[in-house]
Amino acid sequence: MQTAHKTDPVSKLIYELSKLPGIGEKTATRLAYFILKQDESYSRNLAEALINAKQKIILCGQCFTFTDTDPCRICENPERDRSSICVVERPSDVFSVEQSGAYKGTYHVLHGILSPLDGIGPDELKLRELISRLGQNSNVREIIVATNPSVEGEATALYISRLIKPFGIKVTKLAHGIPVGGMLEYTDRQTIGKAMENRMELLS
C-alpha cells in the first residue's frame, strides 16, 4: 500500500483499518472518511471499545473462551447444563453456537485444530485441560465436538473421541445437511450426500 508510509493522520488511519480481515485499502478509505465525518464522540467511543476489549478480555480458566470475568458468564451460570461440553475451535464459535439458542450446556475452546503440517499437535490445543475438566467433574455425560467440517476439523473430532473413550462419556458431533433456506441446486454434492445419509422420517 503506497499510502502506508505517509505520516498524515488520514493515511495512518486507512493503513491501520486496512489490516483488518476482509478490509482492503478501498474499504478502509471509505471507513476512514465516514469516521472523519462523524462527531468526535464516535471515534472516541470506538477507540475506547478497542482498548477496553483488548485490556479487559482474558481466557476463562475453565472453558478458555474470551471473557472479562473468570469464570466466564456461561461457566458460572447455574442454569447451564454442566453434564454437556461443546468443544469448539475458536472463541468466536462459542458466539455462533450461542446465537443459535439451541444449546444450554457449557463449552471448551481448543484454540486451534490438529494440523501436523503447520506443527500443531495435541499439545498446542487445550486438550490436556479438557481431560483435566473431565477428571474434576464426574457429571459430564456428553461431549459434542463442534469443530468445523474441514479435513483437520474431522481429524481433530476423531482424535478427541478416541481420547475420551476411556472415560465412558458419549461423544457426538454436529449433523451435516442442507442449510435452512438452502436450495438443492446450490448445495454441493458432499452436503447432499450427507443429508441423504442422515435423512429423517416425516411424521415419525
Q: Which residues bind a copy of itself (CB under 8 A)?
A: 8-10, 12-13, 15-17, 19-23, 27, 29-36, 40, 42-57, 66-68, 73, 90-92, 95
Of the two residues 9 and 193, which places its CB atom closer to a copy of itself in the complex? 9
Of the two residues 90 and 133, which places its CB atom closer to a copy of itself in the complex? 90
Of the two residues 44 and 162, which places its CB atom closer to a copy of itself in the complex? 44
Q: Report the nearest approach of a copy of itself to the CB of residue 129 (Å).
A: 19
Of the two residues 8 and 201, which places its CB atom closer to a copy of itself in the complex? 8
Of the two residues 73 and 128, which places its CB atom closer to a copy of itself in the complex? 73
Residue 15: count of CB within 10 angstroms of its CB: 17
Q: Report the nearest approach of a copy of itself to the CB of residue 37 (Å).
A: 8
The answer to whether 160 and 88 are in contact (CB under 8 A) is no
Q: What is the largest CA-CA distance in the chain?
A: 68
Q: Report the nearest approach of a copy of itself to the CB of residue 32 (Å).
A: 7
Q: Report the nearest approach of a copy of itself to the CB of residue 91 (Å).
A: 6
Q: Is 77 helix (H, G, I), strand (E, B) or coil?
A: coil
Q: Report the nearest approach of a copy of itself to the CB of residue 133 (Å).
A: 23
The answer to whether 153 and 113 are in contact (CB under 8 A) is yes
Q: Is 40 helix (H, G, I), strand (E, B) or coil?
A: helix
Main-chain dihedrals φ then ψ at residue 114, nearest 5 degrees: -60, 130
Give the residue from 69, 145, 149, 161 showing the smallest Cα distance to 110: 145
Residue with cell 476423531: 158
What is the spatial distance between Cα 48 and Cα 192, in angstroms, rounded to a whole number?
46
